[in-house]
Structure formats: C-alpha cells, structure tokens
Amino acid sequence: MIRHLLPITALLTGSALLLFAGGINGLILPVRGAQEGFSDTALGLLGTGWAIGYVAGCVLVPRLVGAVGHIRTFGVMCALAAIAILSQALVVTDWAWIPTRAVSGFCFAGAAMIVESWLSDRADARTRGTIFGIYTMVNLAAATAGQLVISLGDTTGFLFFALGAMVYCLALVPTALSTSAAPAPLTEVRLNLPALWRNSPVAVGAVLLVGVSNGAFGTLAAVYGERIGLPIATIALFASIPILAGALAQLPVGWISDRTDRRWVLVGIAGVALLADLAFVIAAPAGDTANLVLVGLLGAAIFSMYPVIIAHANDHAPPGTAIQVSGGLLLVFGMGAILGPLAAGAVMQGIGPEGLFLTMVAAHLAIIGFAVWRILQRAAPPEADKVAFQISVPARSATPETAALGAGEEEALPFDGPEADAAEGRG
C-alpha cells in the first residue's frame, strides 16, 4: 500500500488543499452574503455562476493544458481562484460575487481535472481502484474540514477569504515541486444528447433533475440555516453532514442496485429524499438536533442518486464507452446545477426559506414519476450485462477525469479518436 501511495503523495496533498479551500469558499459566500442582506435570488445566482464556470472548465481546460502543459495550467487555476476569493472580500456586493464565483468554478474544475489526470496516469489495472478510493476519501475529508473550519472564527470579516486564498495558493506547491512526469492530455468530452437519450432516457432525465436538486441544496443550504436562525457551527454541520451521509449510503445502495433494477433503487432513494423534503416544509424543524438528523437523511438520499444513475446508464452503454457516457451525463448534471440554485433562490425570495425544499420536492417528484413511467416502457438489462456499482465523489465535485480515474483499465479510452469512434460504430 505504502509503495503505491508514495508516488502520488504530492498529487493527493494538492487535491486535499484544493478541496479544503473550496470548502471554505463554498460556505463563506452564502453565509456572508446572507449576513450582508443579499436577496435569496442573488444567493442562488452564486450557485448558478459556479455551475456555469465549472461546466466551462470541464470543456475548455483540456485545450488549455494541451497548449501550455499541466503544471502551468494548474498554477494559473490556483492563482485565479485565489484572486477570485480575495476580490470577493474587497468588493462585497452580489453583482461582483456572481461572476467571480463563475471564475472559481472554472478554476476548480480545471485544477481538479489536472490532479485526476495525473493520478489516472500513475494508476494501472492493479492499483486504480485503491488510488480512486483513497482520492475519494481525501476529497471528502478535506472538503468537510474546509466547511467545518468556518465555525472557528468571525464570518463577518476578512479572515476566511484570506485563509481560502492562502490555501488555494498552497495547493499549487506540491504539484509544482513534483518530479513526476506530466501525464497524457486531458479527456475531452463532447455532449451528445441524442446519443445519451437513446442509451438511457432515465439517466438523462434523472441526472438533470438531480443537478437541479443538488445544485440548489449545495448553494442554499447554508442560507436556509441562516434564515431560520441556526448558529454558525450548526450551519457548518448542516452543510457537511449530508455529504458524509451520502458517501456512507453509497455502500448499501450500491450493493442493492447491483442485485435489482437500478431504476427501482433510484425511485426508492428519491422517495426517501422526498419524505425528507416534505418534513422540512411541513414540520419546519427549529432545533439544531432535528435539523441535523433530517439533513443527514436527506444527504444520504440525494448524494447517492448520482452513482446509481451513472451505473444504470453504463448498464446500457456499448463496451468501451463508459467514460463517454459518464462525462456526457456530468455535463447534463451541470445544466441542472445551473438551473437549480436560480429556481430555488427565486422561490425562497417569494415564500421564505422553505422554498429551497419545495424546489427539491418538485425535482424528486419528477424523478419518481419519470423513472416509474420508463420502468413500464423498458425492461431492465440482464444481470450479466450490468456493470459493477462504482462509489463516486459527490457529482458537484466530479469532472470527466473523475470517470477516467474510476474506470477499469479496459474502459479508460479517450472521448475522441479512433478507439472511441470504433466503440460508437463510427469508424
């Protein structure tokens, strides 16, 4: 184990620092924005800006890496992310924060893709699963720590903006000093909605709606906590516990989904999420404990849907196209994540904090209805054709390179080129 980890220590350290800074950045903005009196619509637009930048980064950064190389591009991404968060501390207005949040999303996607590409290049058939598992755990721990550190200081000042910028800059040091050879060019993904839809309508429809739900929650959960009067320490837990619960829930969910029609598993998970949504709307819990227990249940559901959807789509995909399918669905998820925070922010602006969960109610009801309808239209694939469930990082932090890192050696094909053309029957 140790000999496998030593060559990638610098990359894992850089990734951990990146996720730690991202955790700080992602939580301080909605908390501070709510304290400054930003409207819920404007706070929702922070998430929309992030998602636009993130999707753009997934599409454009591979070309930039091809032009100037991995290390230079990674340094640029970290530097721009630091500039973005510092500018947010200097100009505390919603109209300035929304575009700079898009810059942060672009930089975060680009930096994550470079780290994941490097890790994937260092892995082989024997070590890929171990490396991907360790990478996933490091990311979850670092992002959670970044969110929890918000509870240790004053959120009304400059402290957490400066700390986030410092850690963004620190993240470039391990890779800059690494002696590892630069990996192969990054994965390029082209969104082909008709092909994705033909492969699995449930996957396309559900991943779009999960993007709406999870994008809204990831952006506005802290705002909801602030609006109902939760203390800052509880708000940090309110944002962190769901991610950890979702990671733990993937173990039993994956075991079940490998043994039954994944669409029914998706319906069941969406049903649990719907019950949690309705509990927030109807019961309107006010105490810390009730909110944390309920949000843990919600997180276990909403953050375990994405890997079920990806596994279901790959059950129907032609051999050798798993990365193409996963990368395309990631971009569809990004489209939902663009719409979700905007819609939820507008609903919260109109009816109050519970508007966040009403928006999620609509998304989860739509998932259940569409999945059940498709179950009645199309039989499940034979058990022999099903792929193994793959534990995934939360989709909001995934990139096309995440799919490449988590894929088996026989699936690690480029999105474009003769191999991909042959796999799709184009060659």
Residues 6+ apart with CB under 8 A from 94: 33, 38, 39, 42, 43, 45, 46
Q: What is the pLDDT of residue 130?
A: 76
Name the least confident of 5-19, 39-53, 244-258.
5-19
How does residue 122 score in pLDDT terms, banded at 50, 70 and 90?
confident
Q: What is the pLDDT of residue 8?
A: 76
Between residues 338 and 62, which one has the greater pLDDT?
338
Name the least confident of 42-51, 96-105, 406-415.
406-415
Residues 6+ apart with CB under 8 A from 232: 31, 150, 151, 155
Structure confidence by residue, pLDDT tens digits, 227-259: 999 999 999 999 999 999 998 998 899 889 888
User: Has residue 402 got a pLDDT over 80?
Assistant: no
CA 229 to chain centre: 27
User: Has residue 427 got a pLDDT over 50?
Assistant: no
CA distances from 6 to 3, 18, 119, 349 (A): 5, 19, 12, 50
How does residue 4 score in pLDDT terms, banded at 50, 70 and 90?
low
In the chain, pLDDT over 70 holds for what percent of residues?
85
Between residues 13 and 421, which one has the greater pLDDT?
13
Q: What is the pLDDT of residue 221?
A: 96
Q: What is the pLDDT of residue 148?
A: 94
Q: What is the pLDDT of residue 423?
A: 35
How does residue 6 score in pLDDT terms, banded at 50, 70 and 90?
low
CA distances from 358 to 217, 281, 382 (A): 11, 7, 37
Between residues 317 and 75, which one has the greater pLDDT?
75
Q: What is the pLDDT of residue 410?
A: 45
User: Has residue 418 got a pLDDT over 50?
Assistant: no
User: Has residue 416 got a pLDDT over 80?
Assistant: no
User: Has residue 12 got a pLDDT over 50?
Assistant: yes
How does residue 3 score in pLDDT terms, banded at 50, 70 and 90?
low
Structure confidence by residue, pLDDT tens digits, 171-222: 989 888 877 666 777 767 677 888 889 888 999 999 999 999 999 999 999 9
Q: What number is the average pLDDT over the span 304-321?
A: 83
pTM: 0.88
Q: What is the pLDDT of residue 80?
A: 96
Q: Where are the domains of the chain?
A: 10-419
Q: What is the pLDDT of residue 330?
A: 87
Q: What number is the average pLDDT over the span 153-164?
A: 94
Mean pLDDT of the chain: 86
Q: What number is the average pLDDT over the span 269-296?
A: 95
Select from 3.40.50.1580, 1.20.1250.20, 1.10.10.10, 2.30.30.90 the CATH code of 10-419: 1.20.1250.20
Q: What is the pLDDT of residue 186?
A: 74
Structure confidence by residue, pLDDT tens digits, 79-92: 999 999 999 999 99
3-state secondary structure the chain: CHHHHHHHHHHHHHHHHHHHHHHHHHHHHHHHHHHCCCCHHHHHHHHHHHHHHHHHHHHHHHHHHHHHCHHHHHHHHHHHHHHHHHHHHHCCCHHHHHHHHHHHHHHHHHHHHHHHHHHHHHCCCCCHHHHHHHHHHHHHHHHHHHHHHHHHCCCCCCHHHHHHHHHHHHHHHHHHHCCCCCCCCCCCCCCCHHHHHHHCHHHHHHHHHHHHHHHHHHHHHHHHHHHCCCCHHHHHHHHHHHHHHHHHHHHHHHHHHCCCCHHHHHHHHHHHHHHHHHHHHHHCCCCHHHHHHHHHHHHHHHCCHHHHHHHHHHHHCCCCCHHHHHHHHHHHHHHHHHHHHHHHHHHHHHHCCCHHHHHHHHHHHHHHHHHHHHHHHCCCCCHHHCCCCCCCCCHHHCCHHHHHHHCCHHHCCCCCCHHHHHHCCCC
In 10 A of CB 283, how many CB atoms? 10
CB 210 within 8 A of CB 267: no
Q: What is the pLDDT of residue 5?
A: 60
User: Has residue 56 got a pLDDT over 60?
Assistant: yes
Q: What is the pLDDT of residue 394?
A: 64
Q: What number is the average pLDDT over the span 253-269?
A: 91
